[in-house]
Every structure is written in C-alpha cells, then in structure tokens.
Amino acid sequence: QYMGVPAAVHWYSWHQIPFDDNYPHYFPVKEGFVEGVKRLQEAGVRVMPYINGRLWDTRDRGTEDYQFTSRALPSATKDAQGKPVTETYGSKEADDTPVRLAVMCPTTELWQTVVRDTVLRIMNEVGTHGVYIDQIAAAAPVLCMDASHGHPVGGGHWWTRDGYWPLLREIRKRMPAGHMITTECAAEPYAHVLDANLTWDWQGNGMVPALPAIYGGRVQYFGRNYAAGATTRDLALCMKMGQQLVFGEQIGWLSPAIAQENVAGSFLKQVVGVRYRNVRFFSAGEMARPPALAGDIPDVRADWAWYGETWVTTPAVLTGAWMRPKQRELLLLFVNVSDQPVRTRFDWNAAGYGVKAKRITVIETAGLGEPGSERALPARTQRIMNLAPRTVQTWLVRW
C-alpha cells in the first residue's frame, strides 16, 4: 500500500524441510503457507516460492539416506572415479556434519521429472504465479563422467541443449498462462527459456550494464542484495536503488522493513514509482547511451557489505537512457543518490540517439510529481540542471 505499485514476494523456507537440506522433498508445506499465498495474491502481491534446480541431499531425511541411493544416485553427476559430485553450502545435518548435496545430471529423465513436477505442483496446488528455480544460471556445468546418462562424458553442449533447455521448455508448456519461472544470476545460455534472472550479486566497483545493454527489453533482470554497512547505510541503499533504476532492473529483493526507513524507504518509493510509470521502456525497450553530464560531479562512496566490507564508489548522479525506437520515444534518467544538491550541465544532442526528426518534444518530470508540459526540444541544446538530494528527474523525449 505504501509503495503504490504492484509488488511480489520471493518466499523462502515455505517447506517443512530446512533450507539446503533434505532436497528435493519440499512437500508437505508449512502450516498456513497456502492460506498466506491466497491472502497475498488477493491483495495484489504475486508470490514466487524458492526451490533448488540442481541438488539432491545425499542424506535426504534428516541423517537418513531416504531415497538418494535407491532412487537418485543413478541420475547424479559422477566424477572420473564414478563417485557422485557433491557440494556443501554451510547447512548442517542434525549430527552437526555438513549437508552434502549431489549435483543432479539435467539430462536424466528422473531429474527432469522431479523439477518439472515440483514446479507445476506449487503452481497448481498452492496457486502461486511463479516459481524460482535456484542456481540454474549461477552454477557452472559439472563435467559428468557417467556414460549411462547417454551424453558425451565430460563437458559439452548437452548440459543446456539436452538438459535444462528441454526441462524448462516443458515446464513453460505445461504451466498456467501468465505464470513465470525465474532463476539465480544471469548466465546467457538460459535467457530464452526463463522469464527473469535474479541479479542479487551485482555488487562492486566499476560495474557497467553490459547485459542490460545487450538484452534489455528482452531479458528481465531483478533484485540486488541490499546489505549495507552501518556507517553508510542510507547512502549504500540509495546507490543500489539508483543503479538498479538506470540499469533497467526491477528494483527490490529487499526486506519490507527497508520501506519503513526514513531515507531509504522514501527513495525506494520514488525510484520504484518512476520505474513503474515508465515500465514500457524497461519491459520492451532497449538501452541507449546514458547521458553524459558536464561539470564537477562529486563521487559518493559507501560500504555495500557484500560478504564483508565492500566499498563502492559511483558518481553522485547516475544516468540512464532507454528507447522505444518504433514508438519514437526516449526516456532519460538523472538520479541524484547523494544527500547534497548537484548542479550540472547536460548537453543534449538528438543525433547521438539517432533522432533526425524535425519536430522533437520533451516532458520533464521531477520524482513522482506531475509531468511538466510538453514543449519543443531543439536538436542540440545545453541545459543547466539542479538536482535536489535523493531525487530522480526524467526527460520523456518524443519525435
């Protein structure tokens, strides 16, 4: 209600098994989960539960080998010695030993059936509008040496073409209309069989929007990890939100409590509202060259707290540009993430965006305010811009 836009929740630990333990036996669900999903979705909040798309616990009922050896082992990836390839992620069994999770071979009928049926059961029985299938676009393929799976041993095209691609296509074929499947991170080979990618790990200095520049408007990217160091919390959160906006990502993957914070909550409402107002550019447009600003733009620096202290520096004013060429419109974004006003100059050049029309117009809007009047925009002009602290300004250019 506070945000004033449609929202979604990424629901972890909805199952009675612990996180990263006893996979893939997600059912039965926790008491109240189905009712909670129904209430949220009736309120307009879409629900996307978590499952893992790669792993089967080698002791999959507490400390007991329930179905791993008897059912899953033949379909697990194998090393050169014929042993199952396993991974650990910090979760512990009841006896305090690490949970060892076998990486399943995606070409096997068993694993394709288990993942497909789990996703469809969640959608059809629980009634969610989507399911998040973890790790698919995050983890590297395993060099499976099990010839009985029917693929060439070692690495190769089979991991995608004969494994996850047909699996995800079959889910898409069977899932209800208007539903979605998503995954972790943004490996390109899976983009055409998924609806969106969780970019939670886009953290660090010097980032450029290489993937949105190529795939923007065709591949949807969502979410950042919103950890922040205590001494620069407000700034770190605003930097991440502003960068998500200009990069074209769906903003969020954060605790709802952040929306109640004085500084970050107010800025979140603004950037989310601006994105929603202009969502057509991000869902079906393409990234253009970000506006270059003249003058002395200060830098800001904050601890993004990515697995410990992570100091990130960006300009105080972040810029972005998104086009819909066939509709002959361009959105320019100017985002001051700092707590100080910034005065700068923008040199507009229509030719830089391939605009050659004789008549060009612009509508300027500050934050969530009412759009300004449409007025003529010369093909080349200079504009002095005074950007208030923690505000977004947009130019909607048409021709």
Question: What is the structure's pLDDT at 250?
Answer: 98
178, 199, 187, 288: which is closest to 249 by C-alpha? 199
Close Cβ partners of 214 (under 8 Å, ≥ 6 residues apart): none
Can you tell me the mean pLDDT for 244-253?
A: 98
Q: Write down all domains in the chain, each with its CATH number in brackets.
A: 7-287 (3.20.20.80)
303, 287, 299: which is closest to 246 by C-alpha? 287
How far is Cα 117 from Cα 103, in angstroms, rounded to an integer? 18
* DSSP-assigned letter for residue 220: -
Residues 18, 107 contacting (CB under 8 angstroms): no
Question: What is the structure's pLDDT at 140?
Answer: 97
Residues 106, 163 contacting (CB under 8 angstroms): yes
Close Cβ partners of 122 (under 8 Å, ≥ 6 residues apart): 26, 49, 51, 128, 131
pLDDT tens figures, 130-139: 999 999 999 9
Residue appearing with tokens 């629980």: 126
Q: Dihedral sign, CA of 259, 251, 43, 277?
A: positive
Question: b or e along 148-176 (b: 16 or more beta carbons within 10 Å of the residue's beta carbon)?
Answer: ebebeeeeeebbbebbbbbbbebbeeebe
Which pTM value belongs to this model? 0.96
3-state secondary structure 49-68: EEEECCEEECCCECCECCCH
The pLDDT-based confidence of 161 (bands split at 50, 70, 90) is very high
* DSSP-assigned letter for residue 284: H
Question: What is the structure's pLDDT at 101?
Answer: 99
3-state secondary structure of 39: helix
The pLDDT-based confidence of 226 (bands split at 50, 70, 90) is very high
pLDDT tens figures, 76-89: 999 999 999 999 99
Question: What is the structure's pLDDT at 89?
Answer: 98
Q: Which two tokens stand for residue 234?
A: 């407000």
In this structure, the number of other CB atoms found within 10 A of the CB of residue 266 comes to 12
Can you tell me the mean pLDDT for 235-260?
A: 98
Can you tell me the mean pLDDT for 205-224?
A: 97
